[in-house]
Structure 1
Amino acid sequence: MNKAVENSIIKDLQLAHEGHLKIDWAQAHMPVLSRIRKQFEAEQPFKGLKVSISLHLEAKTAYLAKVVQAGGAEVTITGSNPLSTQDDVCAALVEDGITVYAKYNPEPAEYKQLLIRALETKPDLIIDDGGDLVTILHSERPDLLENIRGGAEETTTGILRLKAMDKEGHLKFPMVAVNDAYCKYLFDNRYGTGQSVWDGINRTTNLVVAGKTVVVVGYGWCGKGVAMRAKGLGASVIVTEVDAIRAVEAHMDGFRVMPMTEAAKIGDFFVTVTGNRDVIRGEHYDVMKDGAILSNAGHFDVEVNKPELAARSTSIRTVRRNIEEYQLKDGRKVYVLAEGRLVNLAAGDGHPAEIMDMTFALQALSLKYVNEQYEQIGKTVVNVPYELDEQVARFKLESLGVNIDSLTDEQRTYLDSWQEH
């Protein structure tokens, strides 16, 4: 019997057919990852190893898991957000021999237990999203650390947590900062987040964006993408920031820049993209327009402070799928999308497959790299080697049928020389 069927915790194995169709569609649009899969099938870089993955568990992630499995690994996967897990995809993975501990919208205690179950397989390598697996290993279950050689982290939020641990000397194994690779933040964070956030908002609200005022909270690479797409949809865009350099950049990109206390008065849509907590909070709710719509595209559901909003409300009700209406004491209504969780995944399908093709190619290659070099790397956070970053970009260009120039020997010599020419 399929070992994964015996061990997995999912909603319903009978949903597998629809999950296979979703995975097949994603695979057909992920040529870079498919190329790496062929490489892994031949080389078997993970033969005899266990890999535990915590990512948003939908079709594109499922294909990454299958690629790692093709490299010889025994793969276990769990979700990184309770509202982004797709039950049919989970069922399909189980049929394919991957152990899954994930369900859509479990209770908080069950969600935590599913993460722990993925670690109780005693993996050699991990792929993390937001640092949840790493945090559990270091704080609650250090008994599961013994086999771990290293891993790779997907998000800005996770890398911030890792670097804090590294700085304090607490990190027990090497982690590759995949989010900081060029082929991650330039494309996934900017174009992926930019498109998928508005996919989620638009399908959830069924409201027009053109002519509205959109407040983008944070102007990192994700914020840049969200602002760019809002502008393309016809919105007037305001950016709020705490970083002076990014604020200047937003200004020169043509957006209004102001504090949240001012932006809160005029925004129609709000999108938080900071990785921090309480960036929309009590004093902002006090001045918001009737009908303001709040959403989050950072990692955790703490950017929009829901307890402070609830304290100002006389009633809370679900008015559409993934839309909660907060009736304030003075009669105004404020709406929160997807419980303040990642709107592009909790209320949408996440980034386009072609974008995640590059990101997950980086994840697969980074996992191979850390497995080969973990002893030399040491217990620290490291960047993706540039040659892997460039390799992914070249594979992507080849899949698009795009050719570029190469330096001549004379040009290379010129660039490498310090003497007068």
Structure 2
Amino acid sequence: MRAPRHDVADLGLAQAGVRRVEWAERAMPALRRIMERFAEQRPMEGLRIAACMHVTAETANLLRALRAGGAEVALAASNPVSTQDDTAAALVAEYGVMVHARSAMDAATYARNLVTVLERRPHLLLDDGCDLVNIAHLERPELLAETVGGCEQTTTGVLRLRRMSADGALKLPMVAVNDTATKRMFDNRYGTGQSTIDGIMRATNALLSGRTMVVAGFGYCGRGLAERARGMGARVIVTEVDPVKALDAVMQGYTVLPMEEAARAGDVFVTVTGNRDVIRAEHLALFKDGAVLANSGHFDVEIDLPALESLAVEVRREVRPQADEYVLADGRRVVLLAEGRLVNLGAAEGHPAAVMDMSFAVQALTVAWLAEHHGELAPGVLDVPAEIDAEVAALELAALGVHIDEMTPAQEDYLSSWRP
């Protein structure tokens, strides 16, 4: 097979990438069943899809499913530090995907790759953080002439899309894949919780038991992280700006403090808020010597990195892989993981494949639904149809060998009637 248009580090890595992709596929039974269905039904025949996603083995299996369904796919990376170069090579050489992604690429290359996949004049967009939608709307709107809709799979991206829609700027129907019950439960809570701990452990080899972890943000991701940190014996402090989420954390037994107070107590700090400047200069000035600082929000703006640079009198790069040590004027050291980018992908491998099976199964079925129904949809942010969420949950239960009850006709009648 002739390799499609691409910009990857080394096509010679393709066979290593195939092994990685096939290993992930073993833990993705729901997506595999959908891939088989797509190969038979070809619901996306002739459609061009532009994707901005993490270039990982799990993503590769989603794109394989879309290719099986008849789509032409062009992929750019959604984060410079998460690209697996062997997976990128396999996608090009073995699976026929146009990939423009290299590990540790600079910001200019990242932006250029987004434009490159948009130049395919896609019918559908798959976005991870809203960067693809943003650059298309603000810089190259002419490339959306044939685009009929798309999906967004992150909390940060959905927030951006809702702001665009409220301002009347969003020109497409975009489905908020992130907001499904299965995605929030499985991916955000269990996936981010485990993979963030994984990234911290790989980068530091630190014992969490007996140490204090500060979790900034108590959304689904923060809850999952707090649960797993507590399960490993850490004392957990939560910081929040939302009183309802803060109350939830209190009722679950966590200590809730303002960041100014938490900064004095923490040994490990992780931001998972989706907002910027959560940890700032005034907080960094209070850190203990040796404090570990990480981010598991989508963009690298949650930690005020310029402030950290300005406070440091010395920066010791790579004291361990994906760990940089900043020495402050009084000798205190702050260890920043994965350059302040997503620690679970920068210092580890992201979510386990079993987690992404559910998220990408929802995404695959949503793409097929968009292919069929886009003519009926108006611009704005849309929910995933409830039947897709339920179908994916049923597929996962079947893969786990779990059986559940079904309602009797009398129970269905009872719930559908208001009469006693």
Q: TM-score range by the shorter chain?
A: over 0.9
Q: What is the TM-score with the length of structure 1 in the denominator?
A: 0.98
SS across alignment from 1:249:
helix
SS across alignment from 1:265:
helix
Aligned ranges 1:104-123 → 2 under 5 Å: 104-123=103-122
SS across alignment from 1:165:
helix
SS across alignment from 2:81:
coil
> In the alignment, which residue of structure 1 is the partner of 2:183?
184
Of 132-141 and 315-324, the range deviating more from structure 2? 315-324
Paired-residue identity, %: 51
The residue type paired with residue 328 of structure 1 is L
Q: How far did 1:70 drift?
A: 0.4
> In the alignment, which residue of structure 2 is the partner of 1:250?
249
Unpaired segments ≥5 residues, structure 2: none
Q: How far did 1:317 drift?
A: 1.6
The residue type paired with residue 92 of structure 1 is A
Q: What is the TM-score with the length of structure 2 in the denominator?
A: 0.99
1:342 aligned to 2:342?
yes
Task: Map Cα deviations across residues 235-284 of structure 1 (whole Å, 9 max, x no partner).
Answer: 00000000000000000111000100000001000010000000001000
Of 366-375 and 279-288, the range deviating more from structure 2? 366-375
> In the alignment, which residue of structure 2 is the partner of 1:306?
305
CA distance in 2 between counterparts of 1:329 and 1:122 reads 52
CA distance in 1 between counterparts of 2:3 and 2:399 reads 36
CA distance in 1 between counterparts of 2:23 and 2:409 reads 43
Q: How far did 1:3 drift?
A: 4.5
Aligned ranges 1:178-257 → 2 under 5 Å: 178-257=177-256
> In the alignment, which residue of structure 1 is the partner of 2:296?
297
Contact 1:240 1:257 in 2 (8 A): yes
> In the alignment, which residue of structure 1 is the partner of 2:398?
398
Aligned ranges 1:40-189 → 2 under 5 Å: 40-95=38-93, 96-189=95-188
CA distance in 1 between counterparts of 2:162 and 2:416 reads 33
Q: How far did 1:382 drift?
A: 0.3
SS across alignment from 1:264:
helix
CA distance in 1 between counterparts of 2:80 and 2:260 reads 31
Q: How far did 1:111 drift?
A: 1.2
Of 119-128 and 240-249, the range deviating more from structure 2? 119-128
Task: Map Cα deviations across residues 96-117 of structure 1 (whole Å, 9 max, x no partner).
Answer: 2111000001111111111111
CA distance in 1 between counterparts of 2:240 and 2:385 reads 31
> In the alignment, which residue of structure 2 is the partner of 1:369?
369
> In the alignment, which residue of structure 1 is the partner of 2:23?
25
CA distance in 2 between counterparts of 1:79 and 1:107 reads 12
SS across alignment from 2:265:
coil
SS across alignment from 1:336:
strand
Q: How far did 1:375 drift?
A: 2.3
Runs of 4+ in 1 over 6 A off after TM superposition: none
CA distance in 1 between counterparts of 2:122 and 2:187 reads 27
Contact 1:174 1:370 in 2 (8 A): no
SS across alignment from 2:313:
strand
State how many pairs are aligned.
418
CA distance in 1 between counterparts of 2:299 and 2:29 reads 31
SS across alignment from 2:269:
strand
> In the alignment, which residue of structure 1 is the partner of 2:386?
386
